[in-house]
Chain A
Amino acid sequence: MSSILYHCTCTSASTASNVPPEPTLPSSAFAFHPLHALYFCEECDLVRCNRCVSVEVSGYFCPNCLFEVPSASVRAEKNRFRARADIFTTRCARNCFQCPHCRNTLSVVPSDPPEEILTQPRPQTTTESIGEPPFFLYCNFCRWDSQEVGIVFEKPTGLALQLQKLEDSLPDSLEFERLKDHFEPLLRSSSSSHHHTQASHHRNPITAAASSALARDVPGLHQPIRGISGRTYSNPKPPARANAPKGWDDWDSVIYKSRLEVAGSGVGIRIESELDWIKALDEGHGIGRVAEMEQRWLSSWTQSLKARQLQPLRIPLHSKKTKRCPDCRHILIKPEQKAQSVRYKIKLMAANYLPSIDVFVPSLVPPPPSGGSQLPKSKVKDAEDNGALMMQPGKSYPFQMTFTNPLYEPIQVRISVHRAPPRMTSGDAIPHRPPFGITLPSSAFPISAFAEAWEYEDDEDMFDEDDLEQMLSGNSSGGGLGLGADSRGGRGSKGHVGVLERKANVTRVGGEVLIGRDASGEVKFNMQVSYTYRAEDSAADTTSPKKTGKDDPAAAGEMKTFTFFTLVSLGSIAPKADTGSGASKRDSASTSAR
């Protein structure tokens, strides 16, 4: 249905004028955001969105136990447990585990007490809540338990540390360290030899390259008899060459011996047997025994295909993020450190700076179901499908926009449809134009300042439903409030256009959309909104001179104007008359889905 989104300039920064993309373009979806997702930088006087702010991690916490992991300790842990750093930096290092099958949180349960204890009731059992020693992890959802993969714990706390002993000896981390140890001496020796040749490189790169190419060991050239095995195995180096490997050329001469070879006794046999296993999978339930790809792919080591070999997962940490303006580095969002707290120390939301706008088309709002709950939902859906809640081509619809002022000062708002310059495509000579026309109030209209509820006078009574009717018929009494003097100027000819209602810090204005005869698709347009407000002196002091000078140098911080773009979508246009055929129905569904 109808909605409104706000523009952030970051995606159109490359274009000179910060003009938003046309609403028909798909990239428009990336340029507009709901108001609640936007920030406002006071220094730059600009809206910022989640796509452009620079983010810093201010703290980590486990979403399960809410244990807060300070950044410093994450780093320290990372250095301590280098090989398995992933466990201790982005995973909860306490007791929190996920079920490898269903990702439910696992709970620690004790083993069943031995039979004899069960048979003879003991009064102490209730107080002994800890239970019997071999503890294991248990999934309350899918009933998986860690005993299946042989993971049991001595005590019910500090599970991660207990498990770490196991994980430290994981083959991938050991192999990785071994690889590093293999390459490091090679690197060191080759880098020292590199220094020697540096001078010649400086002297003449061409001759240096040539000589280095000539000096390269061409296999089979030095010793024609030397077989393929000689290259890498037992063959002594040609005497002319230095002893140490000189560079990358010589690295092949030092063979890396894997700790666990893929064809080695353990791994190779397992892989082979699993090939047979998957070949003969049980017809009915076999598929459930194969691990999902998502469950396997995080492991860099060849892992078993069998689902029952899956290990419990540590719960990934979440982070609290501080967001800064990308240009001036001022903080826009800073959360409180504590994991339990959901508050912010600093929070500069655009909703506190820009008027919020709601839009709706009265004639497209579904009528309240007369039969109450008896009306099945499918009927509403049918109505939508049939185009009852869509705009019909060739008709005009009034729509209303409600502006709410979050500022403590009254503002003057001016809105206009922003049309992009016609596309310069040579393929079709006619520039692309939207198949509908929008009429908006052309003159500025006021919105009163935001105030606490009890500060408003009793002027709400002035506008109730009757007044609205009156206004719609063109006989307005909208000028009742001090700032509404020129509201009548923006009145359209039919009376739908213009200020409809003013109430507290809310002003409702009307507009009109005329749908073209053969229009289709969505009714979306870019709307430019600019509002002028009188800054308080105190505020003027704190704001940067750049900001005040930009808009109105004469007033020197008195009146300020801020302009932003919004994307207004009013709904979709019903397809052409032949809605009876199924094909066009489907078409309309697909276009509206688009």
Chain B
Amino acid sequence: MSAVPATPSRSSAAAAARADLLASSPHYTTTKRHSLYGTEDRIIIDPGSRVWKVGFSGEGRPRDVFVVKHTLSPVPTSASGVRDSIDEVEKERLMELELQDRLRSVFFNSLLADPKSRKVIVIESPLLPLAVKDMFARILFHNLEVPSVSFMPSHLLSLLSVGRVTGLVLDCGHTESTLLPVYASRPMFSNIRTSPLAGSRLTSHLRALLLLFASYRAPPTIIRAAAQPAVATRVPEEILTEALVEEVKAKCLFVGSPFDAATQPENDDSMDVDQPSSASTGTPSESGRSSRLSMSESQAPSSAASVSRASGSGVGSDSSFSTQEIHLRAMEELYKKHATATDIQMRVVPPPAHAVAAGSFNNARGTLTIPGWIRERAAEVLFEGGDIDERSVAELILDSLLKVPVDLRKTLASSILVVGGTAMLPGFIQRLHAEIIKTLESQPHPPASILSPRRGGQSTPTPSASGANTPPDAVTPTAVRFQHRQMIAPSPRRAYDPYATLRSIAPHIAILNNPSITNMVGHASPHALANAGKAPAFAPALIPWVGGSLAGALKISSEEVVRDRWDEAYERDQDAQRQELEDLAINTVTIEPETASPMKSPRKSQLRYRPPPAQPVGASIILEGGGLRPPAYSALPDWTRSPLSVGAPNVVWLAQQQSVPPV
């Protein structure tokens, strides 16, 4: 219960202020800052790509948490381009209308609050597209007429909610895992790292596994009930609704500890086996799959990912499925050996066709049996590294540590914070820690691997059990290969070991909200031990929201956009846009390519191949503006729009200093 331990470093002045604060009555804070009408609380919106968290600042938990159907991603651009531009405008309009409905529902159904008197803090992911940000601002200002909006980076807020301003924050959400180092409250945007290995990938992977390995018993029918229980069959695709898969994910899955088989390198020449075949055929578009395939121990995980990819997109030819099935079977072999979890039975709604045909009872439920190894090992997909485009969560952290200034490494390495909904999986954080340590402490590859420079990207020791059946499509696009060469260049003599420089900091790795630190004792440095697991036990999924609530209560925020300022900029832009539309009407054909180009969302290209982090990722986002859709309003601050200023605290600054006229 006592406050911060009296450390010599703490100033007497601060200590005095603090003691003073603690001595005062519990009503101190309420009487000081909250007016009678209580409208000074800001509204904190954490719009996740799948789950939204909304509530008032100053409260310890959100008022409402709900799932949204459509993710807030900008419209993906089809390759055909021009013809779609009107459809895409339409899609964006649709997205805005849906967002408007949702925001209105937040205010009127969830929070029961009057938006006109509430300042709003929107917690933004650093790569939230500006178009979406504009959309938020447009709706909040025009439709809901809030007095001010500020966007705050979720990673920084996450740190606030564990009482810090420095750390390496991994946000493992639904669409993406995003890693951002923050030092002294300044997000180091140039070192941002993202990976699509996150919740939705896990969902599609789990779905593929369930389809193949789970078994399903139809509900007993009138005829059969007397005779014998229904035969277990493969899972019909219809019963695996999105809701059901999510339920399995939320209720059955957990993350097992890393298994040992992977740590014994069996045949290192698998690299050589891979090499010729990979060079032979293939298209660059398959890069993601190929690098996974070639690295992976049994090819199974990667092919599982591709199965899930295929099933996710709804495309999957039968011929390809059979090979994927082989890979999945190989994976089953491997994982089964390393899983101890029990099988689980679930009652599921039978597919409508079966129910009618079998003439069963109306409310009869089929039984879905989920093998234990799926429960324990489905989340392996998040920890499989080696793909340059789809870094595992552990690799994200290590990559980022490689990039940050050397003198910050130890500090950041021992204050890793894991947030996000996917991190809620039991055992996720423990596994992540183990995985980082494993990667750092494992032996680098023998020099043989130098022959295949493109293999260098993989860091996890990955023996190949079934390297013989190398898929024909294993190939590396030139871009990736080029990057690898770059990476490999400095150390031509040694086995490629990307994390060699990081090995010394292995003892310093500490995850702030790691619930189990017992196995760290003995290996870890005292500083790491002093940090690991010392964060308050907030749920990872809600840590950013709690941080937002805290920031709102403390009246700190990033740059606030006031409504007047927005309106001004909006008017200006509207005029410009009208002018543009007139031009467009005059000569449609010549302008078409230009109108199409802003619609090409930069996100898509980032997913495939992110630009080298030395240059801000957002540089490409600046493309927007102009064209058929409302331009990006200059009133909205964003780190991708303006150069990061040096020195002065640019992201979090004190709203108290601002001369914002009270609205």
Question: A: which residues have CB within 8 A of B?
Answer: 11, 14, 25-27, 30, 51-52, 54-57, 60, 75-76, 78-80, 82-86, 89-90, 170-173, 175-177, 179-191, 194-195, 198, 201, 205, 208-213, 216, 218-221, 227-229, 231-237, 242-245, 247-249, 251-264, 267-268, 271-272, 274-275, 278-284, 286-287, 290-293, 296-303, 305, 317, 319, 321, 326, 423-428
Mark contacts of B89-116 with chain A using CB atoms, 8 A cut-off: 1 yes-contact digit, 0 otherwise. Answer: 0100110010011001001100111111
Given A56-B114, A179-B550, also A252-B184 (CB < 8 A): yes
Is the Cβ of A262 less than 8 Å from the Cβ of B533? Answer: yes
Report the bound CA distance from A297 to B48 in whole Å. Answer: 13
Residues of B within 8 A of A291 (CB): 251
In the complex, chain B residues 481-498 whose Cβ is within 8 Å of any chain A Cβ: none
Chain A residues near B9 (CB-CB < 8 A):
233-237, 253-254
Task: Say whether B143 faces chain A, with CB atoms less than 8 Å apart.
Answer: yes
B518-540: contact bitstring with A at CB < 8 Å (1 yes, 0 no)? 00000001110010111111110
Quick one: which of A198, A221, A297 has the most chain B CB within 10 A? A297
B60 touches A175 (CB 8 A): yes
- Docked-complex contact B546 and A258, CB < 8 angstroms: no
Give the residues in chain A near B251, CB-CB below 8 Å: 287, 290-293
Taking the closest CB of chain A, its distance from the CB of B11, in whole angstroms, is 4
Q: Which chain A residues lie closer than 8 Å to B101 at the CB level?
A: 30, 51
Assembly CA distance A173 to B553 (angstroms): 13
B163 touches A182 (CB 8 A): yes
**Bound-complex Cα distance A300 to B588 (A):** 53
Q: Is A286 a contact of B344 with CB atoms below 8 Å?
A: yes
Chain B's closest residue to A180 (CB) is B553
CA distance A79 to B145 in the complex (A): 25
Q: Name the distance in Å between A531's Cβ and chain B's nearest Cβ.
A: 29
A268 and B515 form a contact (CB under 8 A)? yes
How distant is the Cα of A232 from the Cα of B113 in the complex, in angstroms?
A: 42
Does B153 count as interface, using CB distance less than 8 angstroms? no
Contact B514 A262 (CB under 8 A): yes
User: Do the beta carbons of A426 and B589 come within 8 Å of each other?
Assistant: yes
Interface string of B125-137 (1 = CB under 8 A from A): 0000000000000
Which of A60, A82, A213 is the one whose CB lies under 8 Å from B58? A82
Binding site for A on B (CB under 8 A): 1, 3-5, 7-14, 17-18, 21-22, 29-30, 34, 36-38, 51, 55-56, 58-65, 82-86, 90, 93-94, 97, 100-101, 104, 107-108, 111-116, 143-145, 160-166, 184-186, 246-247, 250-252, 254, 256, 340-346, 376, 407-408, 410-411, 414, 426-427, 430, 508, 512-517, 525-527, 530, 532-539, 541-542, 545-546, 549-550, 553-554, 556, 585, 588-589, 592, 630, 645-649, 652, 654, 656-657
Q: Which of B17, B51, B164, B515 contacts A271 (CB 8 A)?
A: B515
Given contacts A187-B554, A209-B648, contact A252 B166 (CB under 8 A): yes
- Tell me if A251 and B407 are in contact (CB < 8 A): no
Report Cα–Cα, A540/B595, bound state, in Å. 48
Q: Are A79 and B427 in contact (CB under 8 A)?
A: no
Interface residue from A51, A211, A247, A275 paired with B426 (Cβ < 8 Å): A275
A-side contacts of B90, CB under 8 Å: 25-27
A425 touching B86 by the CB < 8 A rule? yes
* Chain A: CB-nearest residue to B55: A86
Bound complex: CA of A254 vs CA of B252, how far in Å?
Answer: 40
Q: How far is the CB of A177 from the nearest CB of chain B, in Å?
A: 8
Q: Are B346 and A287 in contact (CB under 8 A)?
A: yes
Among A76, A182, A190, A231, max chain B CB count under 10 A is at A182
Tell me, in angstroms, the Cα distance from A297 to B250 when the chains sit together. Answer: 11
A272 to B634 Cα, complex, angstroms: 49
Q: Would you list 18 pairs from A and B whose C-beta atoms are within 8 A, ordered by A residue? A: A30-B94, A57-B113, A79-B38, A176-B59, A187-B556, A213-B647, A236-B8, A244-B13, A263-B534, A267-B537, A279-B341, A283-B343, A287-B346, A299-B539, A300-B61, A301-B61, A301-B538, A302-B515
A243-B12, A249-B184, A255-B7 known; A90-B112 Cβ under 8 A: yes
Q: Which residue of A lies closest to B252 (CB)?
A: A287
- Asked if B162 and A257 sit within 8 Å, CB to CB, the answer is no
Minimum CB–CB distance from B179 to chain A (whole Å) comes to 20
**CB within 8 Å for A297 and B541 given contacts A268-B517, A283-B342:** yes
Cβ-defined contact, A181 with B654, below 8 A = no
Asked if A262 meets B513 with Cβ closer than 8 Å, knowing A27-B94, A185-B14, A191-B657, the reply is: yes
Contact check, B344 vs A283: say whether CB atoms are below 8 A apart.
yes
Contact residues in A for B111 (Cβ distance below 8 Å): 90
How many whole Å from A202's CB to the nearest CB in chain B?
12
A274-B426, A290-B251, A300-B60 are known contacts. Are A262 and B654 too (CB-CB below 8 A)?
no
Q: Chain A's nearest CB lies how many Å from the CB of B202?
A: 14
B17 touches A261 (CB 8 A): no
Partner of B104, one of A51, A179, A286, A297: A51
Interface contact A179-B163, CB-CB below 8 Å: yes
Query: Which chain A positions have C-beta within 8 A of B427?
Result: 275
CA distance A78 to B55 in the complex (A): 13
Query: Out of A82, A187, A278, A423, which one reaches B654, CB within 8 Å?
Result: A187
Q: Are B107 and A55 in contact (CB under 8 A)?
A: yes
B538-A54 in contact (CB<8A):
no
CB distance B83 to A189 under 8 Å? no
Q: A51-B101, A176-B59, A257-B3 are in contact. List 16 more A-B contacts (CB 8 A).
A: A57-B108, A86-B56, A170-B60, A176-B550, A181-B22, A233-B7, A251-B184, A252-B184, A258-B537, A260-B536, A263-B516, A264-B533, A275-B426, A283-B345, A284-B345, A299-B61
B504 → chain A closest CB, angstroms: 12
- Contact assessment for A248 and B18 in the assembled complex, using a CB-CB cutoff below 8 Å: no
Report yes or no: B592 in contact with A183, Cβ–Cβ below 8 A.
no
B165 and A261 contacting across the interface, CB-CB below 8 Å: no
Q: A244-B14, A257-B4, A279-B340 are in contact. Are A82 and B536 (CB under 8 A)?
A: no
CB within 8 Å: A-B pair count: 359
- The answer for the CA separation of A584 and B537 in the assembled complex, in Å, is 56
A334 vs B75: C-alpha distance in the bound complex, in angstroms? 40
Which residues of the partner chain B approach A301 to less than 8 Å between Cβ atoms? 61, 537-539
B residues in contact with A281, CB < 8 Å: 252, 341-342, 344
Q: Is the CB of A261 within 8 A of B82?
A: no
B516–A268 touching, CB < 8 Å:
yes
* A237-B10 Cα distance, complex, nearest whole Å: 9
Task: Looking at the assembled complex, report how far the CB atom of A15 sits from the nearest CB atom of chain B, in whole angstroms.
Answer: 10
Check if A188 sits within 8 Å of B515, measured CB to CB: no
Q: Are B536 and A185 in contact (CB under 8 A)?
A: no
CB atoms of B185 and A251 under 8 A apart:
yes
With A189-B13, A259-B536, A321-B108 as given contacts, are A219 and B515 in contact (CB-CB < 8 Å)? no
- Cα–Cα, bound, A258→B143 (Å): 41
- Closest B residue by C-beta to A266: B537
Contact residues in B for A279 (Cβ distance below 8 Å) = 254, 256, 340-342, 376
Partner of A263, one of B11, B250, B533: B533
Contact B18 A271 (CB under 8 A): no
CA distance in complex: A251, B652 (Å): 13
A319, B113: Cα distance in complex, Å: 10
**Taking each of A30, A210, A284, A426, which has the highest tally of chain B beta carbons within 10 Å of its own beta carbon?**
A426
Minimum C-beta distance from A413 to chain B (A): 30
Closest 10 CB pairs of A and B: A263-B533, A256-B163, A427-B83, A212-B647, A293-B250, A213-B647, A176-B60, A243-B11, A209-B647, A248-B185
- The answer to whether B250 touches A268 (Cβ under 8 A) is no
A208 to B650, CA, bound (A): 13
Q: Is the CB of A185 within 8 A of B30?
A: no
Cβ contact within 8 Å between A30 and B97: yes
**Bound complex: CA A262 to CA B511 (Å):** 11
**Measured CA separation A426–B83 after assembly (Å):** 7
Tell me if B550 and A11 are in contact (CB < 8 A): no
Contact among A26, A173, A272, A303 for B515, CB-based, below 8 A = A272
Contact of A234 among B4, B7, B144 (CB under 8 A): B7
Most chain A beta-carbon neighbours within 10 Å: one of B9, B111, B532: B9
A291 to B426, CA, bound (A): 13
Question: Is there contact, CB below 8 Å, between B549 and A176?
Answer: yes
A426 to B94, CA, bound (A): 22
